């Protein structure tokens, strides 16, 4: 379950992708990458990010996915990010997503929208 995004500016949002699972990192390395990439995205003025963390090779939810999503929820609670939407909720039928798409229609072209992909998470900075 993702956090609630209360509002979005009406500026055009481009969804950049960050692959946290590239080169099969440990959980600690993936969390370090997460922090580094979020800081870099902020510096570059990005507002929305698609994190690719994978779902785990066992098919039951990988450690990186669980750790990344837990860290993101902590960041939401500390107001370090505006919100996150887990891939399984990244669908027009989700009210939070619908509100985001209404405010940022450019995100409707994302290839994972509606696929309920548990290997990704959308982050709104």
Domains and their CATH numbers in the chain: 15-124 (3.30.1370)
Reading the chain (125 residues) residue by residue, the pLDDT tens digits are: 444 444 444 445 678 999 999 998 999 999 999 999 999 999 998 889 999 999 876 655 589 999 999 999 999 999 999 999 999 999 999 998 998 898 888 889 999 999 999 999 999 98
Task: Please list, in sequence order, all residues whose beta carbon lies within 8 angstroms of the beta carbon of residue 91, skipping any fewer than 6 positions away.
Answer: 97, 113, 114, 116
* First-residue to last-residue Cα distance in the chain: 18
What sign does the dihedral 66-96-15-57 (CA atoms) show?
positive
Q: What is the pTM of this model?
A: 0.86
Instruction: Yes or no: say if 53 and 109 are a contact pair by the CB < 8 Å rule.
Output: no
Instruction: Report the 10 Å Cβ neighbour count for 3.
Output: 19
**Cβ of 68: how many Cβ atoms within 10 Å?**
24
């Amino acid at each position: 379950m993702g956090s609630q995004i209360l509002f979005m500016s009406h500026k055009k949002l481009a969804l950049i992708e960050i692959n946290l699972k590239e080169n099969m990192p440990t959980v600690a390395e993936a969390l370090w990458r997460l922090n580094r990439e979020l800081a870099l995205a902020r510096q570059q003025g990005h507002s929305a990010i698609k994190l690719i963390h994978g779902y785990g090779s066992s098919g039951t939810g990988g450690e990186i996915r669980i750790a990344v999503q837990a860290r993101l929820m902590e960041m939401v609670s500390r107001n370090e990010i505006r919100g996150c939407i887990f891939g399984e909720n990244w669908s027009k039928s989700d009210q939070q997503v619908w509100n985001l798409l209404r405010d940022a229609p450019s995100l409707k072209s994302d290839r994972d929208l509606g696929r309920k992909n548990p290997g990704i998470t959308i982050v709104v900075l």
